Structure 1
Amino acid sequence: MKTRYYLTFLMALFAAIIFSGCKKDFLDRLPQSAITSKDFFKTVADMETYSNGFYEMSGNTSLGAGTNDVFSDNISVYLGGSEVDNMIRGNISASNVSGDSWKWDNLRRINYMLNNLQNVKGDQASIDHFKGIARFYRAVFYFQMMKRFGDVPFYNTVLEATDDAALYKAKDPRSLVADSVRADLEFAAAHVKPDGSATRITKWASLSMLARFCLFEGTFRKYHDELNLQNTANTFLERAISASQEVMAAGFTIYNTGKKAEDYQKLFTSTDLSSNKEMIFYQDYDQALNHSNSTHYVFDWQWSLSKSLADTYLMLDGKPFTSSPGYSTKPYLQMFTNRDPRMGTTIMPPGFSTVIGGIPNKTRPTFGGYPQIKFYALDPSTKVYTEFTDLPVIRYAEVLLINAEAKTELNILTQADLDKTVNLLRSRVGMPALNMTTANAQPDPVLVAMYPLTTGSNQGVLLEIRRERNVELACEGFRFNDLLRWKAGKLLAKPTQGMYIPGLGAYDVTGDGIEDIAILNSPSETGPISSLPESVRSKLVLYYLNSNSFYLSEGTKGFVMFPQDISSPRSFIEPKYYYFPIPLQQIVLNPKLTQPAGW
């Protein structure tokens, strides 16, 4: 651990020396160097020192753990700034979009290493190992750029100030960029070593990222017919399958000690994941080194989870919650009864306390009523706003879901495949196995409405795999990109909902039989709680509909909803909103750049 941070410090210092004084945009500036590549890149140890800096890169090259689903349909309300939220309300343009995502300095750092290895001496396998790590991170950079912009210029060299043709070239087509990303990941999968800590890039992390990218690109091409790339989609889906199967043969396992919900919860709240065989790549945090994450912020700070996500969790018997009589009007206290155990470790259930054995938290309708607790560690010794839990970045469960989804998209899925993938995840939490025949015979109509582009004889099982993906990977940062690749962006246009409120009055939300909160029209209209004992009324947390922080869908009853969806309605313009505009200043600098479709 200490060695890791020492090497990172050296790398940061070296990068600062190399790139000091560079204040212009990457495409306008010349790499400046006080220490030359001839002086530095001589040994494998030099490569290792330099590549250690890749793990700490931020921005559009970051490969950090996802700990929330902001901004997606899994969120009821988000009070922080969100470009996606601004976009679907018509408030984003090329002139005001953030320029932070059109940053190329991290790519320069990666290409600088890859372009300067000619003098390195040492074991070729070790040289190729660190070269593979560099190409892995270059692939991550361009994967992120593709998800945001679609077509972008591709560079595999460090540009000089005299390289006008390259500096001011047009965007390369999506197919070229995607093939380049895949080639980098293929090199990494073939050359990065399989052994070592799961806190570093290994062969298995490379294969998993290759599978992740190929699933994204394959499904994106399949469903986005406006690209005219449907005939190339299967090639990516086939590689998603073969790459995931290589990982499946490597000895990783689903963490399952028979404790169901507790096993699932420990994946996201453990201080040490080093022995967990589900971890393919994770970030380690250490209190002794004061190296912390910010997972305390996931709980009841700027967002809550949506009724749409809550409704997605199955009943304990495997049936859709949305097929239960009266499901749509069940209040908060009844929503968690006989549900998939993952629901109560993701969304705050009645009786939850942030301190073991402490006073139960009272849910807040102003946020929707479904606070996120996934990643929130229950540890009385934990400092406020500081966490030292390890965080998964790539875990085996995702690889299994990739395999199942890609096979279903290619219509080659079997029940045996489901039993080796999805059903291992359901088994962990004690849920019934997914049966392919049953799922295809009766596709869930709620899911059909959510994903109308799904068709064919395997529609039912594909929808259930999408459900499983959302449930298993909830709040891990996948949902928004899943909506993009499935061409399901229209879901972002729907006003979000929180919990159901049967009417004005007081409600028990902790499960102890005593009313905890009350919803009233205004402070002066206390009739709905006037019959309660004073001992209860004095402890109620009061919420008022005239406060303009939320409203109920049917006036004095209904789902919690939010005024901004009335004052600034949502819309989703296809295909425009599947991409962000390139910042206008970049178009001015390079007139050959063109905006994504619709912008």
Structure 2
Amino acid sequence: MKLTKILYITGIVAGCSFLSSCNDDYLQKSPEDGLNQESFFNSVADLETYTNGFYGMVGASYDDLYSDNIGHGTGDYTFSQKLKGRIDEKTIGSYGWKKDGVWSNIYNINFMLVNADKAVGDEKEKKHYIGLARLCRALQYYGIIKNYGSAPWYSTPIANDDEDALYKPQDSRELVVDSVMADLQYACDYMEEGSSRTRLTRYAALGYMARIALYEGTFRKYHTEVSDLASTANSFLEKAVWASNEIMQSGQFEITGEGAAAYRDLFVNPDLSKNKEMILFADYDRDLSRKNNTSSVLNWQWNLSRSLADSYLKLDGTPITDADRTKTFVDMFTDRDPRMAETIMYPGFINEGNNATIPTKIVLDYGGLGQIKFLPRTDATYGGWNENITDLPIIRYAEVLLTNAEAKAELGTLTQNDLNETVNLIRKRVGMPDMKIDVAIDPVLEQQYPNVGGALKNVILEIRRERRVELACEGFRYGDTMRWAVGEIYNQPFEGVYLPGFGVYDSTGDGVPDVALFKSPNDKMGYSDADLLDITVYYTQDEKGGNKQVYLSEGDKGNIRFYSDADNDANNFISPKYYYYPLSQDETKLNPNLKQPIGWE
């Protein structure tokens, strides 16, 4: 079977996203069968219609699955299976190489790009849509780079009989990323600024440029397996500074509102169209059948981690102490960064969107730290499974400010004024003290990120903390740990709340016990069934002594840990191998010229 039949020759993107509408007639045809230079791409309107189908290639995230921000997840995630040594070329399937139709997306983009010049119309408008297409191609390709490190670069659609192209090996990371950056630069140079925050504009292109340039710059700086590219890291960091500066100096965006409620509003609002922090957002509307699944974030398949919780500073701007780490759930939110209680379910939280009238109990089997960031809070926005209509940020100004600060810190050029114009604007919204250029090194951060050095080591560490808490659950954390080359973080057991021992606990803050953890059903510490009638009871072992789901880190006290991460199932991050995914053996059989990524050879 020809490789082209599997990877490349498919129809135009089969649907349009929540961001735009599109013409269903042409979407029902493939480029080969339904479109040709004579029948389409004759006008700027044709380019617009065709690129409407590309909006399904961009989207929002409302979780941090696969990362150390998750204390426990019940899903059978590919990354977690890799950490346990269960993934190889025989079992990987098409996880990333064909994920979300990436190669058909690239084919469709290239099909437009080779035909776009024939369109008649305003040259500026033509370049806008060409820039939009090249932006989307860059996003598709960089997604492959993050998973595999390299890929074959195609700038034109592949013909059925072009065996040299069909069976070519991967091009170098350097060539592909340079091509990605050229696409992004074209988009930044020629896309129109526009006023819409749901359409791809020059500002969105700049946001993606800043995001990708920061990723690549730090990846090349910290990953020793690509040491031959280390000398080029600064050029990407400089590009991240340039792109973020362009957005900052435009005067079009700002950190909005004051207090915890303003932070919350970014993630639970049914209408973000007037919010000046949004550079690009996903618009949901029940009447138009554009809905999301944000109601699933609370206690569905995951809870957040104690590691994330411990990252939040105290209200005075200092890190927590060892005494703070042994506070139970009801006390751990006291005098902490307000963003903590807008991200992690706090004692007394009532899920009003789901018509609840009493506080939600913690779920000890998941670790007890439920996610409420992105959870719809009202009947009008909360609809249940895939029925919610809160708008979702895709690129927001706070990310751009953090990118600017981090890139400058990595370059060694960051000043106090830079911090004031970036990180400290973000902190001011929630009333947190300013970050100072001479901030003391937090030994906990130093241990988490042992490969950070240089004169601004202290600030780099604190910017990483700020990025973690500000952008928690927005889909960045896994990629951050990968680009910083700190995969060994995943060897630490994932943890939930702290318990000083087995027994009954109040988790809602009303002083009445509502959850209990006992060693086994045979040892309820003298409590009768009547005593436990209104209490949700968890055990670390069953009646026969078999392991249940959780245990305590210090035996009879400590943080909730998970048997799924213990003993023979403990995570073992192998560097640099696990910064990449293997190619499926099916792919290498179809194209023997494809090589396995670093570590998987």
TM-score, reference length from structure 1: 0.93
Letter paired with 2:188: A
SS at match of 2:71: strand
Letter paired with 1:410: L
Match of 1:27 in 2: none
Letter paired with 1:65: A
Matched, 1:451 2:463: no
Letter paired with 1:526: K
Native 8 Å contact 1:336 1:349 kept in 2: yes
Q: 1:502 to 1:13 in 2, by over 3 A?
A: farther
Deviation string 1:453-507 (CA, Å, 9 cap, x unpaired) is 0012211111000000000000000011101110011111221011111111110
Deviation string 1:228-260 (CA, Å, 9 cap, x unpaired) is 2111001010111011000001124434332x1
Instruction: Give the superposition deviation at 1:538.
Output: 2.1
Instruction: Give the superposition deviation at 1:65.
Output: 0.5
Aligned counterpart in structure 1 of residue 79 of structure 2, from 80, 84, 96: 84
Equivalent positions of 1:174-573 (< 5 A) are 174-227=173-226, 228-258=228-258, 260-321=259-320, 324-355=321-352, 358-381=357-380, 382-385=382-385, 386-437=387-438, 439=439, 442-529=440-527, 537-547=532-542, 548-566=548-566, 567-573=568-574
Letter paired with 1:513: G
SS at match of 1:77: strand
Deviation string 1:36-82 (CA, Å, 9 cap, x unpaired) is 232011011111111000002xxxxx321111110011111111121
Equivalent positions of 1:57-136 (< 5 A) are 62-103=57-98, 104-136=103-135
Letter paired with 2:344: I
SS at match of 1:118: helix
SS at match of 1:580: coil
Native 8 Å contact 2:128 2:190 kept in 1: yes
Deviation string 1:488-543 (CA, Å, 9 cap, x unpaired) is 1111122101111111111011001111111112223222545x9x5x63211111
Instruction: Give the superposition deviation at 1:564.
Output: 1.2
Instruction: Give the superposition deviation at 1:5.
Output: 7.3
Letter paired with 2:558: G
Unaligned runs of 5+ in 2: 1-15, 543-547
Q: 1:549 to 1:13 in 2, by over 3 A?
A: farther
Distance 1:371 1:49 in 2: 42
Letter paired with 2:169: A
Instruction: Give the superposition deviation at 1:7.
Output: 6.9
Match of 1:590 in 2: 591
Letter paired with 1:355: E
Match of 1:24 in 2: none
Native 8 Å contact 1:74 1:308 kept in 2: yes
Match of 1:22 in 2: none
Distance 1:539 1:396 in 2: 46
Distance 1:306 1:545 in 2: 19
Distance 1:484 1:585 in 2: 26
Native 8 Å contact 2:410 2:460 kept in 1: yes
Identical positions, percent:
45
Native 8 Å contact 1:346 1:372 kept in 2: yes
Native 8 Å contact 2:255 2:397 kept in 1: no
Instruction: Give the superposition deviation at 1:325.
Output: 4.5
SS at match of 2:30: helix
Letter paired with 2:347: P
Unaligned runs of 5+ in 1: 20-31, 57-61
Instruction: Give the superposition deviation at 1:119.
Output: 2.2
SS at match of 1:155: coil
Deviation string 1:331-380 (CA, Å, 9 cap, x unpaired) is 11111010000000100000111116721000011000101111001103
Q: 1:366 to 1:115 in 2, by over 3 A?
A: same
Native 8 Å contact 1:7 1:49 kept in 2: no
Native 8 Å contact 1:506 1:529 kept in 2: no
Native 8 Å contact 2:360 2:508 kept in 1: yes
SS at match of 1:17: coil
Instruction: Give the superposition deviation at 1:432.
Output: 0.3
Segments of 4+ in structure 1 off by > 3 A? 3-9, 252-256
Instruction: Give the superposition deviation at 1:183.
Output: 0.4
Letter paired with 2:108: R
Letter paired with 2:64: D
Distance 1:387 1:542 in 2: 31
Distance 1:494 1:4 in 2: 38
Q: 1:250 to 1:551 in 2, by over 3 A?
A: same
Distance 2:572 2:95 in 1: 25
Distance 1:5 1:358 in 2: 32
Native 8 Å contact 1:505 1:529 kept in 2: no
Instruction: Give the superposition deviation at 1:4.
Output: 8.6
Distance 1:180 1:189 in 2: 14
Instruction: Give the superposition deviation at 1:196.
Output: 3.1
Distance 1:6 1:408 in 2: 35
Distance 1:189 1:7 in 2: 21
Q: 1:573 to 1:540 in 2, by over 3 A?
A: same
Equivalent positions of 1:41-56 (< 5 A) are 41-56=41-56
Deviates more, 1:144-153 or 1:348-357: 348-357
Instruction: Give the superposition deviation at 1:15.
Output: 3.5
Native 8 Å contact 2:362 2:369 kept in 1: yes
Native 8 Å contact 1:283 1:391 kept in 2: yes
Equivalent positions of 1:7-18 (< 5 A) are 8-10=21-23, 13-18=25-30
Q: 1:561 to 1:85 in 2, by over 3 A?
A: same
Deviates more, 1:101-110 or 1:351-360: 351-360
SS at match of 1:37: coil
Distance 1:342 1:4 in 2: 30
SS at match of 2:39: helix
Matched, 1:158 2:157: yes
Distance 1:97 1:391 in 2: 31
Instruction: Give the superposition deviation at 1:33.
Output: 1.6
Deviates more, 1:380-389 or 1:288-297: 380-389
Q: 1:100 to 1:560 in 2, by over 3 A?
A: closer
SS at match of 2:434: coil
Distance 1:525 1:7 in 2: 59
SS at match of 2:516: strand
Distance 1:387 1:290 in 2: 10
Native 8 Å contact 1:505 1:528 kept in 2: no
Distance 1:557 1:7 in 2: 53
Distance 2:479 2:70 in 1: 14
Letter paired with 1:431: M
TM-score, reference length from structure 2: 0.92
Native 8 Å contact 2:22 2:49 kept in 1: no
Deviation string 1:10-29 (CA, Å, 9 cap, x unpaired) is 2x54243115xxxxxxxxxx
Distance 2:35 2:175 in 1: 34
